[in-house]
Chain A
């Protein structure tokens, strides 16, 4: 799981990129708390061949990246 809550862009994407490059997970959960980060992580996930689902929980967002 990548917890990028409170971090401003591009840091959440950098963290996801690191995880994808290092472990190439089939599934990755990412937590962020700004909609701009949801958009950026989604765009990056899709460019890496992941499908992305987003769930909003109390103003925070749980993204599930799946290959």
Chain B
């Protein structure tokens, strides 16, 4: 039983290292937040020229989950569990992730790449999960979902198929980065095929970056955490084997900043929001792939959140060395205010969805 999730974790780790080797940005073999942000940019929902590309990895993960769940007869169209709140939570999680510069999966990949800033993010992530658990234990729920028409279940897989076909036929329709992280990518077909396998395995194994710690704290269940640890160890080993590991440091890490308070708080928002949603951004893609309309709405919320993050300059800026001067990077006042507002939203959602006192 645990073997499957470890295999999934190892596969994701290997896939991340291989995709980076084939052209994806450093320590960004996979990043659900970054890649949804790139898709938002490619669709011109934001104008940040360095992060615009239709990432085949996202398409592959969703469709891998769809194929696997259809094959195992698990695909089930369902929806109706506080969709509007989920949209908002998806946006909040995305903004928190872009403050830190990565989703929980990229956080683990960055940790395996020796980025100590990500370890600070990890502490924040754990704090956020504990806050979420506090509310779960008091009865927090976004209420039940219901069976829905088949079309609801295919909303996100259908959107992904359409996006990918248009991208393959008429790439000029999209905005594409010519510099920066958006310009760095593995070959389309290879990225898509690798992501298909990852999506299928993640669906089958229930791999979730937030579920690991949550289940250990709540139920003393280490199943999901073993997947999290497997990703970390595989990426670390892969980087060492390929000679790209240069020890653990906070200094000038790829697409990362050293503003530690904001690394911590960004991931606190991600951990908290993800617990309320019932899974990390990767898990939301997988659930949407298997017919969950609520998770599809969450993914659309994440895409909207990415657009807001860049249009309103909320996202973190990476550390940089320019003319011998080291800048630690981080977020500006807009981002700091936005994150404060997000904590207010998360608190409101948490409290308003507790059981009514009798």
Taking Cβ atoms with an 8 Å cutoff, the residues of A that contact B are 5-11, 13-14, 17, 33-36, 39, 43-44, 47, 59
Contacts and interface: CB of A to CB of B under 8 A. Distances in A.
B220 A6 contact: no
Interface of B: 1, 74, 76, 78, 80-81, 136-137, 141-142, 144-146, 206, 211, 214-215, 218-221, 223, 278-279, 287, 292, 294
A19 to B, nearest CB: 13
A56 to B, nearest CB: 11
Nearest to B278: A8
A7 B74 contact: no
A36 B206 contact: yes
A6 B78 contact: yes
A10 B216 CA distance: 12
A6 B146 contact: yes
Contact of B221 (A7, A34, A43, A59): A43
16 contacts: A6-B80, A6-B81, A7-B141, A7-B144, A8-B142, A8-B145, A8-B278, A8-B279, A10-B214, A10-B215, A10-B278, A35-B74, A36-B206, A39-B206, A43-B1, A47-B221
B73 to A, nearest CB: 9
Given A6-B144, A9-B278, A14-B137, A43 B218 contact: no
A27 B74 CA distance: 28
B93 to A, nearest CB: 16
A56 B280 CA distance: 29
Given A17-B218, A47-B221, A10 B145 contact: no
A18 to B, nearest CB: 9
Contact of A14 (B80, B206, B218, B223): B218
Contacts of A34: 74, 76
B151 to A, nearest CB: 18
A10 B137 contact: no
A35 B68 CA distance: 14
A34 B264 CA distance: 34
Contacts of A9: 211, 278-279
Nearest to B1: A43
A27 B219 CA distance: 20
Contact of B219 (A17, A33, A35, A59): A17
Contact of A10 (B80, B144, B211, B294): B211
Contacts of A8: 81, 142, 145, 278-279, 287, 292, 294
A33 B214 CA distance: 22
B77 to A, nearest CB: 11
Nearest to A3: B144
